[in-house]
Structure 1
Amino acid sequence: MMASPSRRIFHVTMYPWFAIGHITPYLHLSNQLAEKGHRVSFFLPPKTKSKLEHLNRYPHLIRFITIPIARVDGLPPTAETTADVSSPMVPLLMTTLDLTKDHVEAFLLDLKPDLVFYDLAYWLPALARHLGIKSIHYSVVSSAASSYLASPARMPPSAGVKQLTQEELMQPPMGYPSSSPFQIRRYETRDALLAFQDRGDGLTFYDMLTTSFGDSDAICFRTCREIEGPYCDYMATQYGKPVLLTGPLILPAHHQQPNTRLLDEPWSKWLGNFKEGSVVYCAFGSECILQKDQFQELVLGFELTGLPFLVALKPPHGASTIEEALPDGFKERVQGRGVVHGGWVPQTQILSHPSVGCFVSHCGYGSMWESLVSSCQIVLIPNYGDQFMHTQLLTRSLKVAVEVERREEDGWFSRESVCKAIRLVMDGENQIRKEVKANHVKWRDFLLDENMQSSYIDAFIHDLRVLLGWRD
């Protein structure tokens, strides 16, 4: 007997942008779909496959398929993801994504999936539609940021080629939720303005995003209505598309791989030297590279707190190692209570260590969710683009974090402002500390409720079936 249509298993293809911060959320979603029995074909660059295999919880249902990467003049020959290139080279990497179109079409013709999830491959919806495949733009940034920066109301088609001004970008697009507490500062527009510049082929990043959203059959966000409902509704209205929500996709502890639950002995031993909730942990993701003077100001701010700290950052511009970038005498002064590390660290495990009491983050979307489900106080120093919006979501809307004060004209932060923000959430029982801690506990409990998470993913799968025209 044939299975009921409502119980049919669908086949999904995932094709995220070539950045670990994009690929990883796609794999988290793949795991959730595979847990319900659905099949996933996951497209990614060749050398990146080995870096992700340990996160594939259902290898019998999630198949990695490597996509050949064309060589583009100006890119290092081994470059595959944004972690392999400097910021000025990212447009060239986008060209390599576009050059995979023929390979992707051949794979889709062979695989015949029901759905394809993508983000920056703006040409994929038209290709998928030609093949009878439904396409879903799955965004790895918040709906608050997407709706602010990539609303079609920003640049109506009738406007033609036009470079936005800082003043225009500091204002929300027409119709943006009036309940929004966001206030964009001048220095926060610096990188966002680059999205409206021609990348060399007549397209801007803004064009790519709006085409990607607009040509899809549906738009999808990793969020929940309780946190971002008005912004999801705004996107649905602006693009005239269904907006599907996966929920936060936070992995319950009992689902983590056994070999990743325990913290490596060197870190565990070092953190074990300090009392509960006393250590400040700082990380800015896999791509952020600070200017040397700003890097030094940051670590001097940690020294100024008098608290134990662990900082995990890439060497700043102009330095090949962390050691050569440290301020004179810094290493000797913080010996025994402070570590600045230039390599990878197991962030989830560090945040869950009893000694860690504060997380200083750039507020990338993945780190935003990790901070919300940790027990740590949250201090934010966003670096560019969507991170500024995520920061305001946590500080102004949810009121679970504090942001380091910066200079209005250029975004510079001082060692004193870093120290002040950390001390504000770590010292005594001042009113701000009480408020952010109480709000954080409330949202943490909500997000870690497994019934909430499972209900979101069940509703999401139901919405996918509706999109496919299947009865449920």
Structure 2
Amino acid sequence: MKPDVASLLSRLAPNFIVFDFAMPWIPTVAHPLGVRSLLSPSSSAVFHRLPHGPIRAIAAGDDRPSLTHQEPHETPSRIPAASSIAAAGGVSQPYQAQDSRTSSSPLAGQPCVFDRVMSCVAECSAIIAKTCEEIERPYIDYVEAEHNKPMLLAGPVVPEPPSGQLEKRWAQWLAKFEEGSVVYCSFGSETFLTEEAIRELLLGLEMAKLPFFVVLNDPEGEEAMRKKLPEGLEDRVRDRGVIHQGWVQQQLILGHSNVGCYVNHGGFSSVVEGLVAGCQLVMVPQRGDQYLNSALFAGDLGIGLEVERQETTGDLTRDAVCEAVTKVMKKGEKKDEGEEKMSMEENHRKWREFFVDKGVEERFTGQFIQKLKSLAFT
């Protein structure tokens, strides 16, 4: 493939080539031909904090069973100490550090994901990020200084309003409930929850006593997924709960007036999608940048809640799920929680207005093009 790419670049002579960690060798082919390479990861700027915490030790061969926030990790002065990401190099719980072993383990004799990403960062000409200064200024400054690379900020990619109509069966089901009362839950197409996590998630939603629509995926199909459901649950929640496997019109569901909460895995695009739709956000991150995205949105920006987990194992509990959902949905709110809830609502409103502002989006595009031109002629 390298000769083919080199031949194509020689013939077309572009200013830039955009690549990701799947082909970390792109800079070595492009740069000798005078073509600058732009790394385009799918993550936010804050994800690039990962190499400076437990994951760096893991990738270096540290096999201790627990790498925690008590370990002596670097916390750069450019990262505000009060930020949710400052502690422990980006991952604050032992289970998060242990989860990082997946990306620091070689795969089929090839370099691990961590080494691929760091190679890309080291060799590229610049980094493209789907973010903006308003959201991640301290982290953008840090990444540029740490890696001595300019960042081209594309702004958070806000989805266009969906077209078409919601499938009739789901429209009729949602219509049965009050405005803003339904909890929608999905963890994306690439996340498969364990049987234990499925049980605690669903029982927590049942405890919240709110209507819910849960999309679950199982690599072995719907029948296998159904076998993992808590015994008797479907009968108990038949009038107010949907548990579905497969594709749904997510944007149309999130935008439905009767949907008020989005429980998700903390993917950057998913969080933005839910926020723009006007849903309250509850995050249950599963891996990698999702932990950092959740800390960014729930912690730094204050526009949602991350479900608390068992510190060492990361186990999900029904009580924690119920508590997070009822809190954002204003059910069972305690008097001393009123100020925190009001602040969350204000932050939610402020950031939603920011994301849907077309003028802001146009400004991001203009600044991105200007910086790209500047990079091309330097």
**TM bucket, shorter chain:** 0.7 to 0.9
Q: Please point out which of 26, 47, 51 is paired with 1:124.
A: 26
Aligned pairs for 1:73-472 (under 5 A) are: 100-120=1-21, 121-146=23-48, 148-151=49-52, 161-163=60-62, 166-167=66-67, 173-175=74-76, 177-179=79-81, 180-182=83-85, 183=87, 184-199=92-107, 201=109, 203-253=111-161, 260-315=163-218, 320-428=223-331, 430-431=337-338, 432-469=340-377
- Compared CA separation, residues 172 and 454, structure 1 to 2 (3 A): farther
Q: Which runs of 5+ in 1 are unaligned?
A: 1-99
Q: Structure 1 residues 347 and 104, CA, compared in 2 at 3 Å: closer, same or farther?
A: farther
- Alignment partners' CA distance in 2, 1:435 and 1:125: 45
Task: Determine the C-alpha separation between the residues in 2 that align with 1:312 and 1:437.
Answer: 26
Higher relative contact order (CA 8 A, sep 6+): 2
Structure 2 residue ranges without an equivalent (≥5): none
Asked if the contact 2:68/2:94 (under 8 Å) is kept, the reply is no
Task: Determine what percentage of the aligned residue pairs are the same residue.
Answer: 34
Match of 1:386, as an amino acid? Answer: D
* Change in 2 beyond 3 A, CA 1:190/1:317: farther
Q: How large is the RMSD of aligned CA atoms in angstroms?
A: 2.6
User: Residue 222 of structure 2 contacts residue 245 of structure 2 at CA under 8 Å; is this kept in 1?
Assistant: no
AA paired with 1:167?
A: L
CA pair 392-136 structure 1, distance change in 2 beyond 3 A: same
Whole-angstrom CA distance in 1 between matches of 2:263 and 2:46? 22
Q: Is the 8 A contact 2:307 2:320 kept in 1?
A: yes
Asked if 1 retains the 8 angstrom alpha-carbon contact of 2:159 and 2:273, the reply is no
**In structure 2, what residue type is equivalent to 1:191?**
D
1:414-470 per-residue CA deviation (whole Å, 9 max, x = no partner) reads: 112111111111125642332211110011111111111100111101111111118
Map of 1:33 onto structure 2: none
Contact 1:426 1:433 in 2 (8 A): no
| Equivalent residues of 1:163, 1:196 under 8 A apart | no
Q: CA deviation at 1:300?
A: 1.4
Report if the CA contact (8 A) 1:219-1:242 is conserved.
yes
Which one-letter code corresponds to 1:231 in the other structure? Y
CA deviation digits over 1:362-414, x for unaligned, max 9? 10121121123221111111111111111110111011111212111101111
Q: Give the TM-score taking structure 2 as reference length.
A: 0.88
Q: Distance in 1 between matches of 2:63 and 2:16?
A: 35
* Alpha-carbon distance in structure 1 between the residues aligned to 2:234 and 2:196: 16
Q: Tell me the number of residue pairs that the alignment of Structure 1 and Structure 2 aligns.
A: 363
> Shift of the alpha carbon at 1:252?
4.2
Partner AA of 1:467 in structure 2: L
